[in-house]
A and B are shown apart, each in its own frame.
Chain A
Amino acid sequence: EVLLLESGGGLVQPGGSLRLSCAASGFNFNTYAMTWVRHSPGKGLQWVSGISGSGTATYYADSVKGRFTMTRDNSRNTLYLQMTNLRADDTAVYYCAKDRGPYFGEPYFDSWGQGTLVTVSS
């Protein structure tokens, strides 16, 4: 069974930083691209970033480019999202999701974690 478990969310002040983690199990982690998607009540779902199975290629939404960095440690079956210079509009539940192959490039997200809440507020 595929399991994805996010952690690292919390309350942070504007301009602050936070690192999210996503622990994966139940599949060959290094052979699947992964994605972060966030959900805020007023905006619905928003794709944040994607990474190839090898970790050599990363992709970002314009709204987070230059502020967020997505990485993975295939030896630990763990995905990361380093978030810096956080803004109020980054407030959301952040989900990690599994793709269907090693390359990022389509919204085939067949397994999702339960999400971790990030609140940016002073």
Chain B
Amino acid sequence: QSALTQPPSVSGSPGQSLTISCTGTRSDVGGYNRVSWFHQAPGTAPKLLIYEVTDRPSGVPDRFSGSRSGNTASLTISGLQAEDGGDYYCSSYSTSMTIIFGGGTKVTVL
């Protein structure tokens, strides 16, 4: 149950777009349409942003979008805003009925 691989940090200016990658294997990210993304602001619980690779729960702005190519999923934030800062985690179903998370990416809005 190795963690998914995410870049430790990314940064961008307000209004810009940025993309966070999440690399796994065929046993998780590449093998199932069960990839989610979460945002965790400091001192708060995680919030679901994307599920099933590309879908957004109601209430999540369409500035957030998900995609996947092979064993790598990606989260794109368009029109970066100050409140988008914090930690972002990808997560995937893995074989043998387990869930794995990525190591997290710290987003800094400059």
User: Which residues on A are within 8 Å of B, measured CB to CB?
Assistant: 35, 37, 39, 43-47, 50, 59, 61-63, 95, 104-110, 112-115
Is B52 on the interface with A (CB-CB < 8 A)?
Answer: yes
B3: shortest Cβ distance to chain A, in Å?
A: 8
State the majority secondary structure of interface residues on B: strand
Closest chain A residue to B100 by CB distance?
A47
| Size bin of chain B's contact surface | 20 to 34
Q: Are B101 and A45 in contact (CB under 8 A)?
A: yes
Closest chain B residue to A104 by CB distance?
B97
- Bound state CA distance, A47 and B96, in angstroms? 14
Q: Are B99 and A47 in contact (CB under 8 A)?
A: yes
Using known A-B contacts A46-B101, A62-B1, determine if residue A106 contacts B48 with beta carbons closer than 8 Å: no
Which residues of the partner chain B approach A35 to less than 8 Å between Cβ atoms? 99
- Bound state CA distance, A95 and B91, in angstroms? 15
Which residues of the partner chain A approach B47 to less than 8 Å between Cβ atoms? 112
A3: shortest Cβ distance to chain B, in Å?
A: 12
User: Which residues on B are within 8 Å of A, measured CB to CB?
Assistant: 1, 3, 32, 34-36, 38, 40, 45-48, 51-52, 57, 87, 89, 91-93, 97-104
CB < 8 Å A-B pair total: 73
A96: shortest Cβ distance to chain B, in Å?
A: 10
7 examples of A-B residue contacts, CB within 8 angstroms: A37-B46, A61-B98, A106-B99, A107-B35, A108-B36, A112-B46, A112-B47
Which residues of the partner chain A approach B1 to less than 8 Å between Cβ atoms? 61-63
Using known A-B contacts A44-B104, A59-B97, A61-B1, determine if residue A113 contacts B45 with beta carbons closer than 8 Å: yes
- Bound state CA distance, A110 and B32, in angstroms? 19
Which residues of the partner chain B approach A115 to less than 8 Å between Cβ atoms? 45
Q: Are A107 and B34 in contact (CB under 8 A)?
A: yes
Which residues of the partner chain A approach B87 to less than 8 Å between Cβ atoms? 44
Give me 17 other A-B pairs in contact (C-beta within 8 A), A45-B89, A62-B98 excluded: A44-B87, A44-B89, A45-B38, A45-B40, A45-B101, A47-B91, A47-B100, A104-B97, A106-B93, A107-B51, A107-B91, A107-B92, A107-B93, A108-B48, A109-B46, A109-B48, A115-B45
